[in-house]
Structure 1
Amino acid sequence: MLALQVRRTALRDVYPGGVAYVAPHFPVERRWSPFHRPVHAIERGEDVELNGELTIVGPRTQFGGQQLRGRYETYWFTGDEVAGLSVLAQGAEPVGAVFGSFCTARDGFVDLTTREGLGLRVPGPPRPERRYVTGSHTTLIRIPVGDENPIRVDILLDAGHRPCGYIVGGEVEILSWGRRILPGETGRVSAQDLLAALGSVPADDRPEVVRRSSGFLGRRKEEPLGYVVDLDFYSAWALVVEDAQEALTAGDALTAGEMRDLLVDSLYRAGSDLGVELEAAASEGGPSWLVEVDSAAGHLRLVVAEVSLPDG
């Protein structure tokens, strides 16, 4: 298997945070996860020539399967627990990145080159004046990445989802993209939709959660699941639901006002691209997403169902 080969790049595979590793003024509002490790400094490095198969060298040599051709820009970055190098094709405009592969560091550094550049390796750790070792039509770049093991090598993509560069030592895939709601995925309710619905009912209302399925001759079947007792945030908002009687007896059922306060907490971002799911779904074999919001006589009912991701 080719370690760094991009096999299939649907829309949901593009992580906007990857652009932060090559753009000094990357807008913070486009970082979709509050857990994203921010980049504090980006220094423009030399332009290098790279021709041949992408190769990463640590304790062992790893061939990436990606072909490099021509001149590339380099960017050295540092941030919260991250440090490394981005390599970008000249003139390319990355829109994001996808997970590439892991590699191992040797004494706190790795070498990025091509198969043809393996003969350019020199002994010892990288020195500032020897980070770029130039050969015939290719270059070897010595990248200090610290003692973290393993090291991430991620792939920058352009608007056409074509590889246009690489990130060594960064962190672009913090959370699972498949848990997010995407443009055009109208089958799910977003965090913003839920927030709007919560504002349309009395603040002391306790929204009920039900599972809805199709019944015979179009009759809809509903199964009461209980009340929301907490909201968790990972890569999507998750409703923590308990049996109705237990939640009400213990006084744990959240009101619409309390849910609204959690959704707008400044620690999080209730963006329109963040879906809402049922946390208990993990034990049921797959995610159950909030797909509908009913409001009858001032009472809010949250409808969940299993929803598949589109094929992209």
Structure 2
Amino acid sequence: MKPHVLVTGGAGYIGSHACKALSEAGYVPVCFDNLSTGWREAVKFGPLEEGDLADRARLDEVFATYRPVAVMHFAALSLVGESMQNPSKYWRTNVNCALNLIEAAIDAGCLNVVFSSTCATYGDQDGVVLDENTEQRPINAYGGSKRAIEDMLRDFGASHGLNSVIFRYFNVAGADPAGDIGEQHVPETHLIPLMLDAIAGKRPALTVFGSDYPTRDGTCIRDYVHVSDLVDAHVLGLKWLEAGKPSRVFCLGSGNGFSVREVIEASRAVTNREVPIVEGARRPGDAASLVSGSRRALEELGWQPQRSDLSVMIADAWRWHQAKEYEY
């Protein structure tokens, strides 16, 4: 019998790709999602259990039914701008729900957790390739809430033997190369899908938020990793825990940052279409330059990203955006 893995947020962008990767690796992914931002149509690789992480009774029911060997925790509020405007929402939802999940998992005897964190826990530290030893100084409630969950995992590890692998990463891009699933959010806030929809005429011009940052062309710089490579790392993290190895933090990134203007130029080259843009003001909470290294993941996990080239990520995303079956 194949082991079950509970995937919170499994109907979302990264979670659905993780479910596919888990299925291909011999697990049964159990998607736990309230479908507030996820898509029922993206749940293709295992059962869907609708529920909210705030509902402890529902969590207990799902743990009892499937007896998962591990949890992959993706579900979270993740809009930086919104977290600046409404921090209580982020602290209440992300942190309280994670605590509920951790306690339910421990009570069910499920002691392996792979957590989707973020390099936003580091804050704005320009000119530095961020790694696992970099000081965490979040500048918004999104990054702060994720750091708090990391702290919880550490504390419950010490008190209850909970084992965890924590992944910190920045911008995820691309789509499943086979075209089964892709990236879609409501509202959409990520640069590449916004840009591709603007190219396709499905939304107004792309807004470039801030052109006066202290970067090489005045726009924000970010590191990008292909979603398929990202979820491959999560499966390796699961196997790390199953092998009895200790809790560990891994950063995932290319070590190379691309500015907003550079991503726009790459999209022009891939699609052979112009990107309609307008200039906008800076958004509160946006750091100027965030670049993440992944040396530890390469050396210890044996992670070997295959598709985290900017042109490949854009091409995969563009292919899916042109063929996607469901709309906003």
What band does the TM-score fall into relative to the shorter chain? under 0.3
TM-score, normalization by structure 1: 0.24
Q: Which has the higher contact order (CA 8 A, sep 6+)?
A: 2
TM-score, normalization by structure 2: 0.23
Q: Which has the higher strand share?
A: 1
Larger Rg: 1
